[in-house]
């Protein structure tokens, strides 16, 4: 198994699953949202530019995100395969990725499409909290930390992403349904889409994904 895309709405659990799958399979975890947040923390021009879109729940322009991702996949850790999280989000991004991988003699092997009902997505996004120190994630509705605002693993403070408010969450979902869902049909036509039920236990969802990836490597 080489290149895998995790496709699904914001709040489906792509980040959580991509992290575990990366650890278990050795695929490099490439998350466009994480790269933008890191750029913002580092005060770069890219970070500042992305922030103006992220704060509104809008998509960063294609050319900006495509350039960032194509540079990222040149790094040595990506040579033996990547799990893409949050990218591509538009048809133009998908085409640019296919072209770049094609030039390297590879391509997209499979797309895991995570489905979760909309009402659950809103609560998952608006309730999401992350540890400042170790990155562990919680949810005030579904999976609260034992001590409010503090991480169970390392005791550090938890924070909420500035784009994880109810209002921005709704906008991000609207943007997803308008701009990203056409990708479902795109990958369905290519025969590379596998639907995964994103509800329920994190470990059950991981298991279903690993099984889907395993069945492909067996073919
Ligand atoms: P995420 O962490 O994937 O939820 O992304 C957070 C925000 O980063 C999104 O709401 C967008 O503003 C921006 N972003 C992340 N990935 C992309 C992408 N592939 N295309 C455009 N904007 C993106």
Task: Dump the DSSP string for the chain.
Answer: --EEEEE--TTSSHHHHHHHHHHHH--EEEEHHHHHHHHHHTT-HHHHHHHHHHTTTPPPPHHHHHHHHHHHTTSGGGTT-EEEES---SHHHHHHHHHHHHHTT----EEEEEE--HHHHHHHHHTEEEETTT--EEETTTB--SSTTB-TTT-PBEE--TT-SHHHHHHHHHHIIIIITHHHHHHHHHT-EEEEE--S-HHHHHHHHHHHHHHHHH-
pLDDT tens digit string along 25-73? Answer: 999 999 999 999 999 999 999 999 999 999 989 999 999 999 999 999 9
Query: What is the domain partition of the chain in residue ranges?
Result: 2-116+179-218
The whole-model pTM stands at 0.91
What pLDDT was estimated at residue 2? 86
Cα of 210 vs centre of ligand 1, distance in Å, is 25
Burial class (CB in 10 A: 0-12, 13-18, 19+), 217: exposed
pLDDT tens digit string along 142-159? Answer: 899 999 999 999 999 999
pLDDT above 70: percentage of residues in the chain? 98
Cα of 218 vs centre of ligand 1, distance in Å, is 33
pLDDT tens digit string along 85-125? Answer: 999 999 999 999 999 999 989 999 999 999 999 989 999 99
Q: Which atom of ligand 1 is nearest to the CA of 58?
A: 12
What pLDDT was estimated at residue 219? 58
Q: Which atom of ligand 1 is nearest to the CA of 93?
A: 19
CB neighbourhood size of 48 (10 A):
11
What pLDDT was estimated at residue 52? 94
First to last CA, the chain: 11
Distance CA 9, CA 1 (A): 24
From the list 174, 178, 135, 164, the residue with the least C-alpha distance to 55 is 164
* Whether residue 93 has its Cβ less than 6 Å from ligand 1: yes
CATH of the domain spanning 2-116+179-218: 3.40.50.300
Active site residue 161: yes
What pLDDT was estimated at residue 217? 67
Q: Which residue out of 14, 19, 72, 124 is catalytically annotated?
A: 14
Cα of 186 vs centre of ligand 1, distance in Å, is 20
């Amino acid at each position: 198994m080489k290149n895998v895309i995790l496709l699904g709405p914001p709040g489906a659990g792509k980040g959580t699953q991509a992290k575990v799958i990366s650890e278990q399979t050795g695929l490099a975890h490439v998350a466009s949202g994480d790269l933008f947040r890191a750029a913002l923390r580092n005060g770069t021009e890219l970070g500042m530019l992305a922030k103006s879109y992220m704060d509104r729940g809008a998509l960063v322009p294609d050319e900006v995100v495509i350039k960032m991702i194509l540079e990222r996949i040149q790094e040595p850790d990506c040579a033996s395969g990547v799990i893409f999280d949050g990218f591509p989000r538009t048809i133009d991004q998908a085409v640019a990725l296919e072209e770049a991988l094609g030039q390297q003699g590879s391509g997209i092997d499979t797309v895991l499409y995570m489905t979760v009902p909309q009402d659950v997505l809103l609560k998952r996004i608006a309730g999401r909290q992350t540890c400042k120190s170790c990155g562990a994630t919680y949810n005030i509705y579904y999976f609260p930390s034992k001590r409010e605002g503090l991480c169970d693993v390392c005791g550090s403070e938890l924070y909420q992403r500035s784009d994880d408010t109810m209002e921005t969450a709704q906008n991000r979902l609207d943007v997803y349904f308008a701009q990203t869902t056409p990708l479902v049909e795109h990958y369905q036509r290519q025969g590379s889409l596998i639907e995964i039920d994103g509800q329920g236990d994190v470990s059950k969802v991981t298991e279903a994904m690993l099984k889907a990836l395993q069945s492909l490597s067996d073919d």
